Structure 1
């Protein structure tokens, strides 16, 4: 995990140093297991004097003699042409990279592309078209992606052995990329594009007992003045940068420069007494990628989830309140959509618009997104000659508008959640559907989601439509039911995100596998003025929300944790393969008939404290704990965890505590190993079971780790002091790690942040999305280094192309131009 930092040594007394000799900060940057770098990045081709410097791009396979291991993550650069960013930095041409990988049959290779517009120069370059091709070295079946401007590509090995991955770029500008052959965990991301951040805005969470008045008096000019903030509920506030602070920005500042200034302001907010946390406000979007028109064709997606008259005779969602946080619901004059009107009663259940701050959540989106999602969950066609019936057609719908025209801000989403939770009173809904999100983790949003769990509100989220395994938020938060999409055959839709964090799937459409015709390529539901088709994980999520309404109808005290246990144990899902858990479809397709046909009241289960295990050289063991959830009167016995593989062992540490560890003597280096742990136990004599995925890879040698040349900077915390300047070193990996040293006798004393990272595309900034980054942190926040002329300090950091999801979203740090 990147950003980890450890204080190794500080001399005792005074400022941590002695009077003899110059002051020094020494550091080691460890490199995450499996990390490699493209051998001809823009920096390599532009900056001379590095061991990795070269005049022209490499031809052929870069690492033909040493295939990358099965857990490799490679950062790199491609561009079909050469040019200038307009900020004093240039980019070279390098249209093809070829990497040799060691893969097992079925292993997926994912490449995420980060085009040049994310650089801080503000350049407006079109993204390049890219294509992947995976060729078995020994011959066999190739795998190839589309050639287009999509920023996520994947190919899958059709056999085991060595493969050459060929990445080509044509047209457009330069781009960074990250190649991955293992899934990201719930705690990792590839960084967040600065383009997602809304300049001049923040979400501030106050410490318990601190009110909005205290926020103003304690934070002074750092927090927005009166009239520039709004309470979101739960001690959270949406604040704007004070006008006097905005006035300090240059008139010609680029968007990226305003983002950097915004992040500096937010860091000041975090240090304000009474403030628990401060995070950027960022964009969130609705998730439907395509639209079709046609006549009602709901049967295929309801057949797929076993929803029929028999299920509806048992459960129809009656008496359950379901909040849909989206673009709102279609309304003409004073009438709701005829299929939605029977289940919407704003006077009784409530309606809310967090965007316009009123109680008329009208759908003004271009895609009809909110109306369509709401119809799938709870449309009622009875008595209207309607063409659409929702999964829970008798549910009480609570429409909450948090998105404008298909996108909005996380502050509005938080306000919508807080309105539903109704702080100090009973929640206004039993469940929340979130067919929206982004790849930006926001701790303020995570806090609101956690409060929903505490309030007993079930939260369902769409997994995202990027077609890769990057965590998508809020769906990938552990207390949200993350829903992916399947097509008419029950296979993962080509656009649906997947990963170890995925819980289950539901129909969302797709045109592969012969599903494109006869209305089976998309989900049919309500749209403003009628009915129509949409496609995406947004359409899958309300199928699950409808089934959750059926569950709550049978047990109005059923907790979110128990709902997740029913999914995890396959009680209300249909497995899509031979294993109970599959990385592409989770625990399987939601099963409405199973949910409706049994009495789940009083259900209890043993819940794991982690959902997946990913091992490597640096992490060879982990603990698994099981805890009771649900009915406290249930007697649990015989808990056990087992693996059938000789490379994996499970050691019992207690009644419900186990250690899972690798048997490295039974493993070959460079090979990806996969297994599922089988967890079994008995509840009141009933046998239960579920599976947890495990992956593991050992490297051939730590000395081969390399994340590319790293810029190491001491960045002043207070930039108002003209004597304090950024200090920079450029270091390269040696024997699998980096070493650096600053002579502090030549540095102006003061408080600094210590940052290191790569600039793969030579755009003048390092640590951007898709680049390796290491930050000196303490409890997830940047840790200050008090620099003196006589100090003696040694630190260790860790760098990686992946990073913790709670790392501050940042477009990167500026390089000193002469280095």
Structure 2
């Protein structure tokens, strides 16, 4: 006779009744003083392992818990596939492990000499090879595409992170790299925005992967990324391979998920950039030829590749390293998330990432400048996206604006704004200062956010530069806001090292001319040559940390006519002379025409060894 569930009155099946009896017996055993412990002997199954023959060499997939994620999804989505745009060198479209994995793309390499395919922009994103490596080509985009979505479980080649997704190849890089204009057009096309081709894809990309970068901030690219996010597109970029804190763009733009690289031991790869813009880490290999796992191959990233040393590119597989290889791991995981939650937004991804629900923490507790919020965890990411689709709530996330205070020699109080950019309830219990000279007051609620006034007290302090911090304690952990200032008596010396002078376009904030000078009797004499008539902003500053940006924190900085009120100067056909300005300390300037430098300072066009373009 069948059993009855006492809670619901529902009849239990024979299997359910047997399970209930087993649980009752286990409880009785566990209660017996003669039994040390008793519990169910669960039946487990192996996580999904694809049959691709080279998968055992892809150590980087188990490192981010992909097999467990594949038990839930391989990236297939009913109705329309998840599409990841690979904005790169194009793809070897004839590669058998990419067969059936591509949707229509576009070639935006506008310079025929750079393109090496005999024409300008067109609808063929096939990579003809860039011949950038002594006659051989990089096949960079082919490698990135395979990491994201190589055909998986097909008994051939390698596996992709999201084999059920599709890649939209967007060619923007040719011989020697690519131009900012071409890359911008590729991003706009992938997101379904207007672009120079006058065409858009039938289905815009869900995710854009940018395994490329450089030091220049381009306002038009920031605008494109902002528009792409508004359209629901998630943008991922490689942090850069200079092993420095220098911000690389597009990884440094607002709204981009910046990816650093880790090696097989989950240490930051020796080439990987780091710094305040890093959001997440992923496997990128090592700069050495080490073989820690003793599989007979270097501990780098294995994916689809090609070989053109004998002529035309032939399909192959290869090991590469770099943050370029780390970024597509994250893009692929995001494709898995979109497969289980088609409506997840870029902002929701940001919230889940900041809350630690997509990663395993590495380094110091919480976010840090090497790993961001930690190593991407595909299983946690898929579960978080699925739970959100099922009606789950976003976790609370503490956001502090600004992220740091640099008072310089000023004294005016500034506002610290704390708010919950996630869901649930954020409980802020304390805001404490590390030093007595940092003064915090207030704590009033304004438009749903908690606002404090922060000021500095220089009384009885000797001259010098000071640094401290505010610690914000909440139910989601602690958050640090650095605070710096200068005390009178620690005036800048008359020689602050080499100073760089930049003319900026007042509409775009882009640098259009550069000069540099060394001090002479406390003065810096400078001259721009070949400047066209027009309106410009003039800024100057040092680059003490050699990050190719002037006016960073702690660096000298000035603007014409004065730093506190930069103004447009008009250059006539005969030029202009006799300008003078002062240089002080305090980092990047502020003003409606200077928003491009709001966080980093101003990017140099180049850094001459001395005196060039003066």
What interval of TM-score do these two structures reach, taking the shorter chain for normalisation? Answer: 0.5 to 0.7
Does residue 1:316 correspond to 2:70, yes or no? no
Match of 2:30 in 1: none
Does residue 1:445 correspond to 2:221, yes or no? yes
**How far apart are residue 706 of structure 1 and its match?**
4.9
**How far apart are residue 660 of structure 1 and its match?**
6.9
Counterpart-to-counterpart distance in 2, 1:416 and 1:594: 31
Counterpart-to-counterpart distance in 1, 2:501 and 2:421: 48
Counterpart-to-counterpart distance in 2, 1:394 and 1:635: 33
What does 1:60-139 correspond to in 2, within 5 Å?
Answer: none
Counterpart-to-counterpart distance in 2, 1:618 and 1:794: 21
Match of 1:545 in 2: 331
Match of 2:40 in 1: none
Structure with greater strand percent: 1
Does residue 1:625 correspond to 2:417, yes or no? yes
Contact 1:468 1:497 in 2 (8 A): yes
CA offsets per residue over residues 328-357 of structure 1, 9 Å max, x none? 1113xxx3x1222232132xxxx1111131
Match of 1:522 in 2: 300
Does residue 1:381 correspond to 2:152, yes or no? yes
The verdict on how the C-alpha distance between 1:515 and 1:582 changes in structure 2, with shifts beyond 3 A counting, is farther
The verdict on how the C-alpha distance between 1:677 and 1:343 changes in structure 2, with shifts beyond 3 A counting, is farther
Match of 1:659 in 2: 452
Counterpart-to-counterpart distance in 2, 1:432 and 1:296: 25
Does residue 1:680 correspond to 2:434, yes or no? no
CA offsets per residue over residues 149-202 of structure 1, 9 Å max, x none? xxxxxxxxxxxxxxxxxxxxxxxxxxxxxxxxxxxxxxxxxxxxxxxxxxxxxx
Contact 1:510 1:535 in 2 (8 A): yes
Counterpart-to-counterpart distance in 2, 1:692 and 1:305: 28
Does residue 1:458 correspond to 2:234, yes or no? yes
Match of 1:436 in 2: 212
Q: Which moved more, 1:423-432 or 1:561-570?
A: 423-432
What does 1:40-55 correspond to in 2, within 5 Å?
Answer: none
- Gaps spanning 5+ residues in structure 1: where? 1-293, 682-687, 718-725, 741-749, 761-766
Contact 2:398 2:426 in 1 (8 A): no
What does 1:244-643 correspond to in 2, within 5 Å?
Answer: 298-308=57-67, 310-319=68-77, 320-331=82-93, 335=94, 337-346=95-104, 351-355=105-109, 356-363=120-127, 364-365=129-130, 366-383=137-154, 385-405=155-175, 407-423=177-193, 428-511=204-287, 518=295, 519=297, 521-528=299-306, 529-598=315-384, 599-601=387-389, 603-604=393-394, 605-606=396-397, 608=399, 610=401, 612-613=403-404, 615=406, 617-618=408-409, 622-626=414-418, 636-639=425-428, 642-643=431-432
Does residue 1:784 correspond to 2:569, yes or no? yes
**How far apart are residue 495 of structure 1 and its match?**
0.8
Contact 2:406 2:586 in 1 (8 A): no
**How far apart are residue 440 of structure 1 and its match?**
0.9
Match of 2:491 in 1: 703
Q: Secondary structure at the match of 1:470?
A: coil
Q: Which moved more, 1:777-786 or 1:455-464?
A: 777-786
What does 1:149-164 correspond to in 2, within 5 Å?
Answer: none
Counterpart-to-counterpart distance in 2, 1:797 and 1:496: 34
Contact 1:768 1:812 in 2 (8 A): no
CA offsets per residue over residues 604-650 of structure 1, 9 Å max, x none? 454626473254644787534345657xxx55453456458456665
Match of 2:45 in 1: none
**How far apart are residue 659 of structure 1 and its match?**
3.1
Q: Secondary structure at the match of 1:563?
A: helix
Counterpart-to-counterpart distance in 2, 1:657 and 1:585: 29
**How far apart are residue 702 of structure 1 and its match?**
2.4
Counterpart-to-counterpart distance in 1, 2:410 and 2:148: 42
Counterpart-to-counterpart distance in 2, 1:422 and 1:570: 31
Counterpart-to-counterpart distance in 2, 1:729 and 1:470: 24
The verdict on how the C-alpha distance between 1:568 and 1:757 changes in structure 2, with shifts beyond 3 A counting, is closer
Counterpart-to-counterpart distance in 2, 1:405 and 1:668: 56
The verdict on how the C-alpha distance between 1:301 and 1:613 changes in structure 2, with shifts beyond 3 A counting, is same
Counterpart-to-counterpart distance in 1, 2:451 and 2:581: 33
What does 1:741-752 correspond to in 2, within 5 Å?
Answer: none
**How far apart are residue 587 of structure 1 and its match?**
1.1
Counterpart-to-counterpart distance in 1, 2:454 and 2:65: 40
RMSD: 4.6
Contact 1:566 1:572 in 2 (8 A): yes
Structure number with higher relative contact order (C-alpha < 8 Å, ≥ 6 residues apart): 1
Counterpart-to-counterpart distance in 2, 1:816 and 1:573: 47
Contact 1:501 1:611 in 2 (8 A): no
Contact 1:369 1:406 in 2 (8 A): no
Counterpart-to-counterpart distance in 2, 1:370 and 1:712: 36
CA offsets per residue over residues 105-154 of structure 1, 9 Å max, x none? xxxxxxxxxxxxxxxxxxxxxxxxxxxxxxxxxxxxxxxxxxxxxxxxxx
Contact 1:442 1:806 in 2 (8 A): no
Counterpart-to-counterpart distance in 2, 1:345 and 1:420: 11
Contact 2:216 2:603 in 1 (8 A): no
The verdict on how the C-alpha distance between 1:699 and 1:470 changes in structure 2, with shifts beyond 3 A counting, is farther
Q: Secondary structure at the match of 1:301?
A: coil
CA offsets per residue over residues 367-389 of structure 1, 9 Å max, x none? 11101111111112332x22311
Q: TM-score, normalised by structure 2?
A: 0.65
Q: Which moved more, 1:663-672 or 1:553-562?
A: 663-672
**How far apart are residue 423 of structure 1 and its match?**
3.0
Counterpart-to-counterpart distance in 2, 1:731 and 1:503: 43
**How far apart are residue 786 of structure 1 and its match?**
9.2
Q: Which moved more, 1:422-431 or 1:446-455?
A: 422-431
The verdict on how the C-alpha distance between 1:406 and 1:756 changes in structure 2, with shifts beyond 3 A counting, is closer
Q: Secondary structure at the match of 2:66?
A: coil
Counterpart-to-counterpart distance in 1, 2:502 and 2:324: 44
Contact 2:207 2:234 in 1 (8 A): yes
Counterpart-to-counterpart distance in 1, 2:518 and 2:484: 35
The verdict on how the C-alpha distance between 1:756 and 1:429 changes in structure 2, with shifts beyond 3 A counting, is closer
The verdict on how the C-alpha distance between 1:704 and 1:571 changes in structure 2, with shifts beyond 3 A counting, is same
Counterpart-to-counterpart distance in 1, 2:223 and 2:477: 31
CA offsets per residue over residues 203-231 of structure 1, 9 Å max, x none? xxxxxxxxxxxxxxxxxxxxxxxxxxxxx
**How far apart are residue 296 of structure 1 and its match?**
5.6
Contact 1:768 1:811 in 2 (8 A): no
Q: Secondary structure at the match of 1:412?
A: helix
